[in-house]
Amino acid sequence: MACSKTGPTERNGIMPKKAGNSGRGQRDLRVRVKTARGRKLSSTLWLERQLNDPYVQKAKREGYRGRAAFKILEIDERFRFLVPGARVVDLGCAPGGWCQVAVRRVNALGEKSGKAQGRVLGVDLKEIDPVPGAETHVLDFMEDGADAQVKAWLGGKADVVMSDMAAASSGHKQTDHLRIVALCEAAAHLAFDVLEEGGTFVAKVLAGGAERELQTLLKRAFTKVINVKPDASRSDSSEKFVVATGFRGLPEARDGL
């Protein structure tokens, strides 16, 4: 029985869209999302961006819980702090993508024969689905005694404290900037209490001016502080990551030794 060829068809409000010639005799397809009844335009645009984001698709293929995994992968490719045997604390670890990367790189499952086995501890305000090779707990890291609890769970101090946290968006750019810088400063103070000498601190901030005070604080406690924006960060995002290496403690803490 003969059948005729048809073009791309709409399915659940999603229509593949021709996006021009790739130069290889093939046409690239971009997914276009039609606005559905009851769906806001902002939600439609977000869904369309997700469906066309190569890092979202790559995360699905490689088994990561989100595109953010590629941000920490890129950062670690440059600075090499997630090494076999390292002890890692992931603050605000939901949904778990950074923990997944850390587990593989520090050999938390002991799968790399002949390499030291590391540990990965993730904490968040809410419970997350288990990450094989990582230990996760519900914890507000800004509560009194959180540093002691982290060290107790980890069995000692950490080599790496990292954070991809962001406060809930208020819709006001400067307010969001101040909130995430405050979160980052709080994470830094916990890092001061739990990091081993020579340790590394990585955290997300939003550009906006107030992060300069954070830089000053970190430079007092680390030998090197650098801002980076991974390729996996969206080009229209103001996010960047501060990477502080060579932890030596705050001067007042060193003077008290």
DSSP 167: P
How far the first Cα of the chain sits from its last, in Å, is: 86
Catalytic residues: 204
| Both tokens assigned to 36 | 């559905």
The whole-angstrom separation of Cα 241 and Cα 59 is 20
Instruction: Read off the DSSP letter of residue 251.
Output: H
Q: Residue 18 — pLDDT band, cuts 50, 70, 90? A: very low
pLDDT at position 218 over 50: yes
Q: Is 90 annotated as a binding residue?
A: no
104 half-sphere exposure, CB direction, 13 A CA radius? 12
Over residues 22-35, the mean pLDDT reads 50
Q: Is 153 annotated as a binding residue?
A: no
Question: Domain ranges in the chain?
Answer: 14-52, 65-255
User: Is 140 flagged in the annotation as binding?
Assistant: yes
pLDDT tens readout for residues 174-199: 888 888 889 999 999 999 999 999 99
CATH number of 65-255: 3.40.50.150
User: Is 28 annotated as contributing to ligand binding?
Assistant: no
6 pLDDT more than 70? no
What per-residue confidence (pLDDT) applies to 41?
53
Report the predicted TM-score, pTM, of the whole model to 2 decimal places: 0.78
